[in-house]
């Protein structure tokens, strides 16, 4: 199975400041169709997960442009350009390239 | 608007069975892979299983293989998860999600508690 790791696991941030979360996979996430199925999810307290980014860098409809995704192969990053209070929650990366889907352990973002 | 509504959760004793359902609307259900993802209390997300559009391919996380069965009824726009031989470690909120590789839409989840 593909193991997904994230760092840091806890990220206290100051409002208005940038934040960055790293995600690494134990195998390449490039699929045979040329796409890389690395996705990012946000889970606010008490809510269902919500997809923010799909295929590395594509922002979902309604997701603020302060969120951006980048990376390739086995190394990926989610960036928040200026953290707002509503960004508090847990962020997960997820790979859908390999038959058995796997999630990262999650990064908890809160306000300092 | 895409909607996924799970039901069927509850309290069950270890070794018991439960069948979860997910009612889909707002999209052509038969055109999409569907998935189940769970989240134990205070823990992260764990993918459980997924199923191809026509039900011909199914995949499971190792920890549920042989105990859980994913199925679907495209005529009823519904996804199911039959859970047998339940264990305490299966206690979680179970979400259904659309898609195989990108999980674009999620339901609100249904809580399964396995306890005596």
pLDDT tens for A64-95 read 999 999 999 999 999 999 999 999 999 999 99
CA distance A87 to A112: 13
CA distance A95 to A29: 7
**Count of CB atoms situated within 10 Å of the CB of B58:** 13
The confidence score (pLDDT) of residue A74 equals: 98
The confidence score (pLDDT) of residue B92 equals: 98
pLDDT digits (tens, 9 = 90+) for A36-69: 999 999 999 999 999 999 999 999 999 999 999 9
Shortest distance between the Cα of B39 and any Cα of chain A, in A, equals 10
The confidence score (pLDDT) of residue A67 equals: 98
Which of A55, A65, A57, A69 is CA-nearest to residue A21?
A: A69
Q: Kindly provide the b/e burial profile for residues B60-81, where b requires at least 16 CB atoms within 10 angstroms of the residue's own CB.
A: bbeebeeebbbebeeeebbbbb
Query: Would you put residue A97 in left (φ > 0), alpha (ψ -120 to 50) or beta?
Result: alpha
Of B95, B100, B104, the CB nearest to A48: B95
**Count of CB atoms situated within 10 Å of the CB of B35:** 26
Contact B45 A101 (CB under 8 A): no
Query: Taking CB atoms and an 8 Å cutoff, what residues of chain A touch B2?
Result: none
The confidence score (pLDDT) of residue B106 equals: 98
Q: CA B29, B53, A61 angle in degrees (round to 5)?
A: 50
The confidence score (pLDDT) of residue A51 equals: 98
Burial of A7 (0-12, 13-18, 19+ CB in 10 A): middle
Contact B104 A1 (CB under 8 A): no
- Three-state secondary-structure class, residue B89: helix
Query: If pLDDT is split at 50, 70 and 90, which confidence band does A22 have?
Result: very high
The confidence score (pLDDT) of residue B1 equals: 95
Contact B47 A103 (CB under 8 A): yes
């Amino acid at each position: 199975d593909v193991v997904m790791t994230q760092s840091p696991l806890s990220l206290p941030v100051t409002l208005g400041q940038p934040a960055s979360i790293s995600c690494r996979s134990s195998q390449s996430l490039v699929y045979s169709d040329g796409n890389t199925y690395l996705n990012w999810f946000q889970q606010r307290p008490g809510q269902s997960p919500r997809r923010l980014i799909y295929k590395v860098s594509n922002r979902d409809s309604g997701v603020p442009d302060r969120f951006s995704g980048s990376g390739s192969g086995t190394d990926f990053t989610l960036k928040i350009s200026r953290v707002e209070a509503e960004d508090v929650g847990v962020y997960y990366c997820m790979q859908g390239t390999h038959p058995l889907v796997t999630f990262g352990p999650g990064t908890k973002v809160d306000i300092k | 608007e895409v909607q996924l509504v799970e039901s069927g959760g509850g309290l069950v004793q270890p070794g018991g069975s439960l069948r979860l359902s997910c009612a889909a609307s707002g999209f052509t259900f038969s055109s999409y892979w569907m998935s189940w993802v769970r989240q134990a209390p205070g823990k992260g997300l764990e993918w459980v299983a997924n199923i191809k559009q026509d039900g011909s391919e199914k995949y499971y996380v190792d920890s549920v293989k042989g105990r859980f069965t994913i199925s679907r009824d495209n005529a009823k726009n519904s996804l199911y998860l039959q859970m047998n031989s339940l264990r305490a470690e299966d206690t979680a909120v179970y979400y259904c999600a659309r898609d195989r590789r990108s999980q674009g839409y999620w339901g609100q989840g249904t809580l399964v508690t396995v306890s005596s």
